[in-house]
A and B are shown apart, each in its own frame.
Chain A
Amino acid sequence: DAGVIQSPRHEVTEMGQEVTLRCKPISGHDYLFWYRQTMMRGLELLIYFNNNVPIDDSGMPEDRFSAKMPNASFSTLKIQPSEPRDSAVYFCASSLVPDTQYFGPGTRLTVL
Chain B
Amino acid sequence: GESVGLHLPTLSVQEGDNSIINCAYSNSASDYFIWYKQESGKGPQFIIDIRSNMDKRQGQRVTVLLNKTVKHLSLQIAATQPGDSAVYFCAGKGGTSYGKLTFGQGTILTVHP
Contact surface of A with B, Cβ cutoff 8 Å: 4, 31, 33, 38-43, 45, 48, 50, 55-56, 91, 93, 98-106
B34 within 8 Å of A (CB atoms): yes
Contact status B46-A100, CB under 8 Å: yes
Number of B residues, CB within 8 Å of A = 21
The reply on B70 being an interface residue by CB < 8 A is no
From B92, which residue of chain A is reached at the shortest CB distance? A99
Q: Is the CB of A91 within 8 A of B44?
A: yes
Known contacts A39-B6, A42-B106; A56 and B44 CB within 8 A of each other: no
> Do most interface residues of chain A lie in helix, strand or loop, or is the interface mixed?
strand
A33 and B44 alpha carbons, distance in the complex (Å):
13
**Is the CB of B88 closer than 8 A to any CB of chain A?**
no
State the Cβ distance, A47 to closest chain B Cβ, in Å: 11
Contact B99 A98 (CB under 8 A): yes
Q: Is B59 an interface residue (CB 8 A)?
A: no
Residue among A42, A48, A104, A106 making CB contact with B6, cutoff 8 Å: A42
Are A99 and B43 in contact, with the CB atoms below 8 A?
A: no
Sample 25 A-B pairs with CB under 8 A, ordered by A number: A40-B4, A40-B5, A40-B6, A41-B6, A43-B44, A43-B89, A48-B99, A55-B98, A55-B99, A56-B99, A56-B100, A98-B93, A98-B98, A98-B99, A99-B34, A99-B49, A99-B93, A99-B101, A100-B46, A100-B49, A101-B46, A103-B36, A103-B43, A103-B45, A104-B43
A10 to chain B, nearest CB (A): 10
Is B61 an interface residue when CB atoms closer than 8 A count as contact?
A: no
Q: Are B44 and A103 in contact (CB under 8 A)?
A: yes
10 tightest Cβ-Cβ pairs between the two chains A and B? A39-B5, A98-B99, A103-B43, A43-B103, A103-B44, A99-B32, A106-B43, A40-B5, A105-B43, A91-B43
Q: Smallest CB-CB separation from B98: which chain A residue?
A: A98
Return B17 CB to nearest CB of chain A, in Å.
Answer: 27
Q: A99-B32, A99-B49 are in contact. Are A45 and B100 (CB under 8 A)?
A: yes
User: From residue A54, how far is it (CB to closest CB) to chain B in Å?
Assistant: 11
| Per-position binary interface string of chain B over residues 35-66, scored 1 when its CB falls under 8 Å from any chain A CB and 0 otherwise | 01000001111100100000000000000000
